[in-house]
Chains A and B, each alone.
Chain A
Amino acid sequence: MDCSKLIIALCLGLALTSCTDDSDSGGNTGTIEADFIGKAVGNFSAEEWFTGGEKGTTMNVTQGCYEDETPAVTEMGLTEAFNRGEQFFERNVTEFQAPFNGLGPAYVRKSCLDCHPGYGHGKRVTQYNAEWGNGYLLVIYHPVDGQNSDDGPYVSEVTGMPQTRAVSPFLPPVDESGIHLSWLPLMAMADDSEISATQFPDGETYELIYPELSIDREAFNTNPTPWETGNGAVAFRLESTIGIIGTGLLDAIPDDSIKAQYQREARFVELNPAFWDKEANDFAASAWYVNASSGLEQVNRLKKFTYAMTRGSLQDGAGANAIWNITNVSRSDRPKLYTTAAWAKAMSENPKVIAAIKGDPSSPYYADGTDEGIREAVYNLLLPTTNQFDNPWHNFQPEMSDNNFWAFQVWHRGLAIPRARNLQDPEVQRGKEVFSEIGCANCHRPSWKTTTDDYWNPQIIASQNLQLPRYQNQTIWPYTDMIQHRLYMKNGIHGSWCRTTPLWGRGLSLINTGAEDRLHDCRARNEIEAILWHGYSKKSDGYAATLKFYRLPKADRDAIVKFLRAI
């Protein structure tokens, strides 16, 4: 038997007969936390210390713990690949210098770390620059009401994740100088909410803020601009990067367990009809992620990743996509650019772009050196439909090797969840009790069990006969139901529906990233603000629980916060 497993088994075994008097007395006076780790304390089971289960938990809870690999990585002999994959996450992508080359022609960020500082969510910023720390993506869409609805289709003139940077001689699809962001104080809740926008019934005050975003029409280097298409109205939102730690464990939750959760919740709350067919008591056809983004392979997994739940497997999920589209680094299964025809057209019509290329015969866009030839090459090579490796104008080489993509996926699937902290603290135990009593745990479901973890593997990894970390038969504590709900916040999330955010490990955000902003656009600067935004509208799925929280005595509110920081 593996030594590490033996140790953990011993710990878990001990838990069944462990002390209870320590937790009753609090354990803070004359004791140290290590005395309690791995033991049942109060209303916590011994297993709950190991938030990511035996194979998915790091016991490190200091700064940098978000970077740790899971025990599964070590046990499977994948450490070298994990380390190599980590470099692709951390390093600045260069335009030309291998092995981190391929930046542009247009890009969202130059590095994954820019959006995930300290491996966390992005930080709330007051000015949109595509630099380190700003984890926001712009969301640009045609609002269905022609005004400022949260709903409506993405504009097609810029990419779904709009790019604000480009390599010379191109101009970015959106010029950052035309982006205007302000944070406004919330003066009142909406829709007859019984919750104050500024204070608890006991007088303790708070201030909720929300973003207002606009982009000048002149900032769009596209032809046409979004105002000339769709319904002619354009709205803007911010969306912060989603968590990356523990996502391999979430990928290991079986689809049939999630189906049972949908069935339970559908009795009490309206679920997104794009995912759940209430009549059939089964998934809607559109709940399934059928084909990989490359269009070349079938996946056939339940959609469960990203706020909008657009992805069905981590191996074709947000990270696998981002390592291509955020930087526009091509690879063998992603031979096309992440661009739009409207940008390609604008660049091909820009005299400065044409002149710069004309002055550089080494440019891949040079063609025959005539204005017309350059225009044609620019337009066609920048189109999102052109195969960069096989076309009449210039054949590029894949910029990321298949083996490095595998290493990146080992890293991604191998990121651990830090263990829980301070579960011996009676206040944390009280927080857990109240969290459940007032209904938070209805959506922030505490635990799941993984089974065989027969993950989907893309062909470029499977063809190399390479493995990824696996998390079979684990109990994990992510605190999410893996289902979308609606909160109806002011200037809310695009599409209205948002997957319940996993809460595990978030209490360590401040020491890992220097920030602890929460919610999809980082509008909440602490746990209290995040909870209260759940009650902005009476229509919110979280309203009833939030109202109960609002009416709690301060000691219980503080206990919930302490609990959230412990898990």
Chain B
Amino acid sequence: MKKIFMYAMLFAACTLGTASCSSSDDNNDDNKLAEKEQAMQAITDQYVNNVIFPIYQSLASQTSTLFDQLVEAKAKFRSGTLSQSDIDRICTTFIAARSAWESSESFLYGAATDFGIDPHIDTWPLDRTALAKALSSAEIIEDLDDLDDGGIDNARALVGEQQLGFHGIEFIIFRNGKNRTLAALQGTEDDEAFSGRGITGEQELIFAAAVAGDLRDKCFQLEVSWLGDQAPKAHQERVEECEFPTTVAGGEASYGDNLLNATKAGSTMTTWRSVMATILVAGCSNICAEVAGQKIGQAYLGTDPDYIESPYSQRSYFDFFDNISSIQYSLYGNQSTTAHANSIMGYLQKYNATMAAELKTRLDAALTALNTAKAGTPFVTDSHSANAKAAMDAINALDDILNEAASWIAAN
């Protein structure tokens, strides 16, 4: 996945090699290096405060709302007052939460990886047969139902991580690319894996509410891990109640502080160039390769539709679009379509305008390809389409230039 980065680094080293013995080389000029490092510090400050923080705040907020709405829906279902507009509202919230999560995937490094949050909340395919078995158990349903007395913990313990996270909830509230109907929830679950089990909408909502609680808690953990004391007090308290870890290596520093305090004692980031490489390679390139090689690639190149994410809402291309948008935000230092001056794109525009232009061209091409795909046949319906191929190729091309940019910044 990092092949271009590797070769480019070698090339950079070789190219510099013939000249770097001279202490008067322009590239090694102390003042210029200091100027660039100051710029990288400003980029980091902008990136952490205006990309990572607001996206994780949004994710925490949206998942909290989703939990509240599902708890309310459960009560309304029991009292016979649940309406289609209630379900539609939940679906809208789910889509917003999902978008926030996918928009955070260009910075999965850090807390999402260190604490195993990514595989916990975003695993697929859903094991519907195992879910049907679990929901058939009166004991499990009872344990999940009492949210004031460990229902969320029970979701973690009883239904298996394979059923947790976004896609377990997605299965309950979406079907065949549409919002679940009230009539469907009022009947018994008709998915093939549930055949003959007589699972009711009430049981499904009990499950969805408990899983949404777990999802919310994990997103609070992400927010608190990055924002530290800047996270809402209530979120901090909930994370503490769950006994979730939130600091770098169990120390004092939040993940945000760890980046902001690069080069200082206590930070794992020893140089500002390592921060840039982290943003570009550990962050942007990683999700680029994941989308092209795994999320699209495995289904496009193979034959198994179960490799496809978000099959019930049929929003796979929307997920991928948000992933590439996430890269844009990281490169631009904000969530707009214009790069902030203190951003990696701004840095490249100043020091390597040719590369900046090429990076923007390929980023735009990837987003355009995914926009086209979003308007066409859903990925889960046709995973071998020309749209899928075009998107995969464009994202691979973006990945190449991201690694080249990382190599150039590291070497100059």
Contacts and interface: CB of A to CB of B under 8 A. Distances in A.
A-B complex is real:
yes
Interface of A: 3-4, 7-8, 10-11, 14, 18-19, 21-22, 29-39, 57-65, 67-69, 71, 74, 79-80, 83-84, 86-87, 90-101, 110-111, 113-114, 117-118, 132-133, 167-168, 510-511, 513-516
A59 B137 CA distance: 51
B10 interface: yes
Contacts of B306: 97-99
Interface of B: 1-3, 5-7, 9-14, 16-18, 20-21, 23, 27-30, 33, 109-110, 113-116, 119-120, 123, 125-130, 133, 137, 160-162, 193, 248-249, 268, 271, 273-274, 277-278, 281-282, 286, 293-294, 297-298, 301-302, 304, 306-307, 410-411
A93 B268 CA distance: 33
A87 B273 CA distance: 31
Residue in B11, B13, B27, B161 whose Cβ sees the most chain A Cβ within 10 Å:
B13
Contacts of B125: 94, 97, 100
B20 A22 contact: yes
8 contacts: A14-B14, A35-B13, A38-B10, A38-B13, A95-B162, A101-B127, A514-B113, A514-B249
A4 B3 CA distance: 10
A291 B307 CA distance: 35
B110 A63 contact: yes
A37 B9 contact: yes
Contacts, number: 192
Nearest to B10: A7
A68 B1 contact: yes
Contact of A64 (B33, B281, B304): B281
B127 A96 contact: yes
Contact of B13 (A11, A69, A84, A90): A11
Nearest to A68: B2
A215 to B, nearest CB: 20
A516 B268 CA distance: 12
B302 A35 contact: no
Main secondary structure of the interface of B (DSSP, over half): helix
Contacts of B21: 18-19, 21-22
Given A34-B410, A38-B14, A64-B286, A97 B28 contact: no
A74 B3 contact: yes
A94 B23 CA distance: 59
A97 B293 contact: no
Given A7-B10, A63-B278, A514-B248, 7 more contacts: A32-B33, A34-B12, A38-B10, A71-B6, A99-B306, A113-B119, A168-B137
Contacts of A14: 14, 17-18
A226 to B, nearest CB: 27
Contact of B17 (A18, A98, A111, A515): A18
Given A19-B21, A94-B162, A62 B274 contact: yes
A69 B122 CA distance: 24
Given A14-B14, A32-B33, A510-B268, A62 B282 contact: yes
A193 B236 CA distance: 47
Contacts of B286: 64, 67
A71 B119 contact: no
Given A19-B20, A64-B286, A59 B133 contact: no
Given A22-B20, A34-B13, A38-B17, A4 B7 contact: yes
Nearest to A356: B137
B345 to A, nearest CB: 19
